[in-house]
Structure 1
Amino acid sequence: MINYMLGVKREDKVWFEITDDQSDRTSAQTQTSSITVYGFYPQESPIHLTIIDTPGYGDTRGAEKDKDIAMSLCKSAEGMNEIHAVCLVMMAHQNRLSDRQIYIFNSVQSLFGRDITENIVLLFTHSTGARPKAALTAVEEAKVKCAVNDKNQPVFFKFDNCQSETADGEDENIQERSWSLSFRGMAGLFKFLDTIKPKTLKMSRDVLQQWKQLEAKIINLQTRVREMEQKQNELKQTQEALDQNKEHITENKSFEYEVEVPCKEKVDIDLSLAYEATCCSVCEENCHYPGCWWARDPSCCEVMKDDHCTVCTKKCHYSKHVKEAKIYESKTRKEKKTYEDLKKEYDDKISDGVSLVQKLEEELQDLEKEEIKLVIEAFDCVETLQMIALNTDSVIILLHIDFLIEKLKEINEPEKAEKLENIKKRVEKENQRVL
């Protein structure tokens, strides 16, 4: 692309190449974990080019690493308001896409909104110049979404880059044909870039923000469900104490009992991860941890919407949130209480005709309702993604989908649970080799 933009000709006998000093990196892992952004703004060309080169997804480090790569890709696009093309590269003679390639394509597509489809183009390398029928069939069978021409055929361009290889005699003629083929392919690609309407990244950012909010909600949900279960356990222990001391209650005598009381503590996290913790000081909850690795302060955090948190219980204003090297941790402690303490605690909560036992039952029911509300809220976030995302079958959701399926079954929502199970089966089938 850069040589084309600089107007390099075959007869120039010069070919510019990009070099990258990777002496301070580990070889194999670097190639699959770093995203490279090339900015090219030559005075000799009216075109300014920015290329984001995505790494390989699906390495042995698993779905968590893929999530990190996806977030890194989002960060790499910061400052860009629009994108002209997403280029999917494969060899012209391929007759099928490997499981890994399908997984990569799905992962990349899951980062964009549906409106990006007409900007996705196919680049076929190692081309002989003939129509790449086998590769096009493979793309069709893999259901890769891409731009189409006026004949409803995929938009593609052919290349055979061998200009860096030394050649003479017959090889030189072959290399010349390859040069011409690649030149025509690049000319066609740049003509496409000139005519295609660039797409704003707003919808794509909305998709990514929905992913982040979904994950943050589920992580928060898991913590709050555990806290509810701890509170439920405390209430049940209290009920047992009341049952065992009915005589004392009848005679209005105080008695002592022991329960496990839920509590929260602020604990230190690794200082290198301090920027990953966004916590609500009012709800005492971890609203975005881990994952909030780029936000400068709580107001910039992805879980904020209209200046309020989408995750914490009270949906507090961002000013009630802090970013520091600490997070909240749910724990329990054994505590001795007396019947007198219990009556004082519930005195203002008990209305006429409602007993202490009844009030405890009501609290348990309220906790169950809150759990149902949280589970449905997380499921609704998945529904929203299905409406706006180009490809919602991302491996990212697999990190937490089992927990959500289990909870949907517990609250008697079998249809919603089945919908998520179908998503899980589809993703696992497509990515079986990688996962």
Structure 2
Amino acid sequence: MFYIQNKNDLINKSILIVDGNPARYCLLKKTHSMDESEPYRKMTFGERDTNKPHKTILMVGETGTGKTTLINVMINYMLGVQREDKVWFEITDDQSDRTSVHSQTSIITVYGFYLQESPIHLTIIDTPGYGNTDGIYVDKQIAVSFCSLIKEEIHEVHAVCLVIMAHQHYLSDRQIYIFDAVQSLFGRDIAENIVMLFTHSDGRTPKNALRVDEEAKIKSAVNDKKKPVYFLFDNCQSDAADDEDEEDHELRLNQSWNLSFTGMKQLLKFLDTILPKSLRMTRDVLQKRKQLEANINNLQSLALEQNKEYVEENNSFEYEVEVPYKEKVDIDPSVASVAMCCTVCEENCVYPDSGWFRNLSWCSVMKNNHCTVCTNKCHYIKHVKAQIYVTKIKKEKRTFKDLKKEYYGMIRDRESLVKKLEEELQELEKEKIKLVNEAFHCVETLQMIALKADSLITLQHIDFLIEKMKEINEPEKAEILENIKKKAGEEKQGALGFIKRIHKYF
């Protein structure tokens, strides 16, 4: 425990939330950005001293695990608050870790806690809770926001804290999805910096929760006995005393404070022994995930059907054909907050979502100012935000004369028309092969660098890619994908079913 500032000074720098036992105060913080369109925001308490050791921790977990309370436990420990002080300070606000059915935010909050009296400074990155009632779209937004954060602001972390309730007893399809989504954020080099923080603990070893975590194949730091590193916390330090049962309540609060502060002391000791981990590989994982999504979307919208029935002996013969066309539309904010398309290739380079960026050249799919996704690898100035191309189908009546005029004007030779149509089909086939192989390369790369090699992010596209590999006569690559699917196991298939049931875009 560190050195508390004068309690009255702290109270003067705070806003009273509830006057009780303890009295709850919100620390006055400096907010560095009020723009709600940005993917993350930063708040600080105190002034950073670059000469002091600095620790950065990332908090991730399911909605409702008590992550916000846990952050405030850390702050009160750093301040040196004791139960007998009858005060409780909070750095979080009601934007963090919302658990109500009205939760709409997917923004990440970075808290800089720079207490001058303490020997270290602390940065806590608070991610929104996974699995809330707004569905998988919000969870995808977390990855988008996190990608922007580690590209622009945070480049290394000392610990990734996976917050889990100590009384968790079983692993449902929903739990498999949540654990998978959390682990899918990171590169495989981060495993030794992942620790588990069990909330709502009674102080006993959380055997059932540890068994569930083992079943979920969570990769984390291990101790000398090759067991997962974890710390215990309770979540009722700020609960007001109950007049009708004050003695028992006071005993319960004292136990809660002692348990949580012991957990915090052990966590800080761990932070002193672990080296910070670069987030470069994690950034690469998130970028490959985006590229895979972009390639899959372009494959699904690619028109590969061409009809040779255009050529008929009777020039006046009429028939109806389905004609694909592209239409540029504004993005639907309920599907994606940010998207980007190429106006030359008429392709969606980033959709359904990407990291927030001020300048198009900063987008993760840009390399050397050129796009890595669109067909012609166009310069970023040929791209626009906030619009996408949508492939639609319309039915048209055709005659041979119409087709001659459309494709060649005054062409006389029917065989030339067939040749032209075949050439166009070949070009579409080449584009299909390129996109399929790029998607396969993304999957291969993620297998090598991702913490969760068989993540649901990949598996949700695996059957589609296997089919396309067979279409382009790549049986060996199709077999590799089949093995990835087989290795994932049946429990992942259940989680994929869960995703499809609750997300209409899958």
Q: How does 1:303-322 map to 2 (within 5 A)?
A: 303-322=365-384
Q: What letter corresponds to residue 390 of structure 1 in structure 2?
A: L
Tell me which residue corresponds to 1:38: 111
Change (3 A) 1:134 1:324: closer
How far is the alpha carbon of 1:111 from its aligned partner? 0.4
How far is the alpha carbon of 1:107 from its aligned partner? 0.8
Q: How does 1:23-422 map to 2 (within 5 A)?
A: 27-30=100-103, 35-59=108-132, 61-77=134-150, 78-165=152-239, 166=241, 169=247, 172-173=250-251, 175-224=253-302, 226=303, 228-229=304-305, 232-233=306-307, 236-238=308-310, 240-241=311-312, 244=313, 266-269=327-330, 276-292=338-354, 294-323=356-385, 325=387, 327=389, 329=391, 336-337=401-402, 357=418, 360-361=421-422, 363-397=424-458, 400-412=461-473, 413=475, 414-416=478-480, 418-419=482-483, 421-422=485-486
Change (3 A) 1:7 1:98: farther
How far is the alpha carbon of 1:203 from its aligned partner? 1.1
How far is the alpha carbon of 1:175 from its aligned partner? 4.1
Q: Which has the higher helix share?
A: 1
- For residue 276 of structure 1, give the secondary structure of its aligned residue in structure 2: coil
How far is the alpha carbon of 1:110 from its aligned partner? 0.3
Q: Report if aligned partners of 1:63, 1:395 keep a CA contact under 8 Å in 2.
A: no
Aligned length, in residue pairs: 411
Q: What letter corresponds to residue 114 of structure 1 in structure 2?
A: R
Change (3 A) 1:38 1:337: same
Higher relative contact order (CA 8 A, sep 6+): 1
How far is the alpha carbon of 1:374 from its aligned partner? 2.2
Partner residue of 2:493 out of 401, 416, 428: 428
- The CA distance in 1 between the partners of 2:443 and 2:378, in whole Å, is 23
Deviates more, 1:266-275 or 1:113-122: 266-275
**Which residues of structure 1 form unaligned runs of 5+?**
246-254, 348-353
Q: Report if aligned partners of 2:337, 2:353 keep a CA contact under 8 Å in 1.
A: no
How far is the alpha carbon of 1:217 from its aligned partner? 1.2
Q: Report if aligned partners of 1:220, 1:311 keep a CA contact under 8 Å in 2.
A: no
- The CA distance in 2 between the partners of 1:342 and 1:90, in whole Å, is 62
Q: Report if aligned partners of 2:454, 2:484 keep a CA contact under 8 Å in 1.
A: no
Q: Report if aligned partners of 2:404, 2:417 keep a CA contact under 8 Å in 1.
A: no
TM-score calculated relative to the size of structure 2: 0.69
- The CA distance in 1 between the partners of 2:322 and 2:295, in whole Å, is 25
- The CA distance in 2 between the partners of 1:369 and 1:19, in whole Å, is 53
C-alpha offsets along residues 51-80 of structure 1, whole Å, 9 cap, x if unaligned?
Answer: 233333334554334323332343455411
C-alpha offsets along residues 174-221 of structure 1, whole Å, 9 cap, x if unaligned?
Answer: 543443332221111011112211111111111111111111111112
Tell me which residue corresponds to 2:88: 15
C-alpha offsets along residues 291-324 of structure 1, whole Å, 9 cap, x if unaligned?
Answer: 1462223312222223322211122232332335
